[in-house]
């Protein structure tokens, strides 16, 4: 018996994913060998700027016998090769597993004769008209039409199925450069928008006072950092504990922790839980020497194809996780580390595909955690403030 009004599951904001991932493109309406040839051209052109993947089905002209281990019952086989890792999985992968498998790629090309994709490219080829007709229900978001040589117009069945067909660009399939430029533009459109998060939810036990409320530059540090970050995005949030929220000036947006007891790791996860499609520029509030030049350099060095862009620490050569741009693809990675019992964002950066850069001014990364450090850094800041 279910009570009226009872919700069985917590309502969560879901990332905008397809059957395999965020930015997936099914190419349908052409013979499979021509789809593969087009995919290879696109991969060669786009791979220098992004991580591209391809999904297909096995064809009769490319037989592949399973290994002896799989035929006798192995569930999975992993083979380490020179510069390549190969995993063969026994059984079917569903959409949930596919999205984990392809999480790290920036664009996924699918053979639309075998796989359905969130966005579609439709090839107009009379040889595959009947096959395309069977897949009309899969044409939910067509973004490009390709005409093969000899074709001059879209099929009537396409015009009847796709209401906005007149607004969709049309290219010749043989015009490779134009097709490549289309996909380059789509990659740029898919670049996640940036939010900013000031980490101010710590208990500041070593400092003995709230680090976010220390006045280094004429106002509370959490407000100073939030104002500094407004130069990079309109969406700046102060991360805090739920019990701190009423103490923060209502002029500033707050984002209370929903992953509690995990420190900065939980704050980052809480941000992605609220807006999983955005990249998050995460800055700790205990960086009083952080300046605009350093942030400019971080933004300019951003690599959205990595899970994150972070500075290398000048002290121990490890990445600094709390002055980092975390991309949306890092969300499932962070959760997977949590599932394995780790809540250290630095460990995630070290053991994942991260883009690590060297700060132009290493001193700007200085963090202050104790009264002794506070006294030393205030002595550096005060002359600058007086001069300003």
Sign of the four-CA dihedral 269, 346, 237, 279: negative
Instruction: Kindly give the parts of the chain with pLDDT less than 70.
Output: 1-7, 203-209, 382-388
Residue the block writes with tokens 């007709």: 133
- Alpha-carbon Rg for the chain in angstroms: 25
pLDDT at 120: 98
Q: 166-209 pLDDT, tens per residue?
A: 999 999 999 999 999 999 999 999 999 999 999 997 765 566 56
pTM for the full predicted model: 0.92
pLDDT at 386: 41
Distance CA 328, CA 324 (A): 13
Task: Name every residue whose Cβ is closer than 8 Å to that of residue 337 and which is 6 or more positions away in sequence.
Answer: 343, 344, 347, 348, 351
Q: 117-153 pLDDT, tens per residue?
A: 999 999 999 999 999 999 999 999 999 999 999 999 9
Residue 331 burial (10 A CB sphere; 0-12, 13-18, 19+): buried
Spell out the domains of the chain, with CATH numbers in brackets: 24-57+86-189 (3.40.50.300), 194-387 (3.90.550.10)
pLDDT at 346: 97
286 secondary structure, DSSP code:
-
Q: Which of 384, 264, 249 is nearest to 323 (CA)?
A: 264
pLDDT at 107: 97
pLDDT at 387: 47
pLDDT at 270: 97
pLDDT at 388: 46
Distance CA 39, CA 114 (A): 14
Distance CA 114, CA 218 (A): 62
């Amino acid at each position: 018996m279910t009570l009226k009004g009872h919700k069985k599951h917590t309502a969560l904001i879901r990332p905008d994913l397809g059957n395999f991932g965020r930015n997936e493109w099914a190419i349908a309406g052409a013979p499979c060998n021509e789809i593969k040839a087009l995919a290879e051209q696109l991969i060669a052109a786009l791979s220098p700027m992004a991580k591209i993947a391809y999904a297909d089905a096995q064809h009769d002209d490319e037989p592949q016998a399973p290994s002896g281990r799989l035929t006798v019952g192995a569930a999975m086989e992993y083979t380490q090769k020179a510069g390549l890792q190969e995993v063969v999985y026994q059984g079917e992968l569903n959409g949930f597993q596919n999205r984990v498998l392809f999480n790290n790629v920036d664009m996924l090309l699918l053979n639309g004769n075998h796989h359905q994709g969130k966005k579609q490219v439709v090839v107009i080829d009379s040889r595959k008209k009947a096959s395309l007709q069977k897949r009309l229900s899969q044409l939910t978001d067509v973004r490009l039409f390709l005409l093969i040589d000899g074709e001059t117009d879209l099929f009537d069945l396409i015009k009847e199925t796709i209401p906005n067909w007149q607004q969709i660009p049309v290219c010749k399939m043989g015009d490779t450069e134009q097709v490549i430029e289309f996909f380059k533009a789509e990659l740029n459109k898919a670049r996640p928008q940036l939010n900013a998060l000031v980490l101010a939810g710590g208990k500041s036990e070593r400092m003995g006072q709230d680090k976010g409320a220390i006045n280094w530059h004429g106002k509370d540090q959490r407000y100073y950092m939030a104002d500094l970050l407004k130069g990079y995005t309109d969406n700046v949030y102060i991360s805090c504990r739920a019990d701190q929220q009423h103490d923060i000036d209502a002029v500033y947006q707050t984002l209370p922790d929903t992953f509690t007891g995990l420190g900065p790791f939980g704050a980052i996860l809480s941000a992605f839980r609220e807006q999983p499609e955005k990249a998050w520029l995460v800055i700790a509030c205990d960086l009083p020497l952080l300046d605009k030049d350093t942030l400019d350099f971080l933004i300019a060095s951003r690599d959205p194809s990595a899970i994150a862009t972070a500075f290398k620490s000048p002290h121990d050569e490890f990445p600094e996780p709390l002055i980092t741009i975390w991309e949306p693809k890092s969300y499932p990675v962070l959760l997977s580390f949590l599932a394995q019992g780790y809540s250290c964002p630095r460990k995630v950066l070290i053991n994942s595909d991260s883009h690590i850069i060297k700060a132009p001014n290493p001193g700007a990364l200085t963090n202050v955690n104790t009264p002794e450090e506070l006294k030393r850094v205030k002595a550096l800041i005060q002359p600058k403030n007086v001069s300003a």
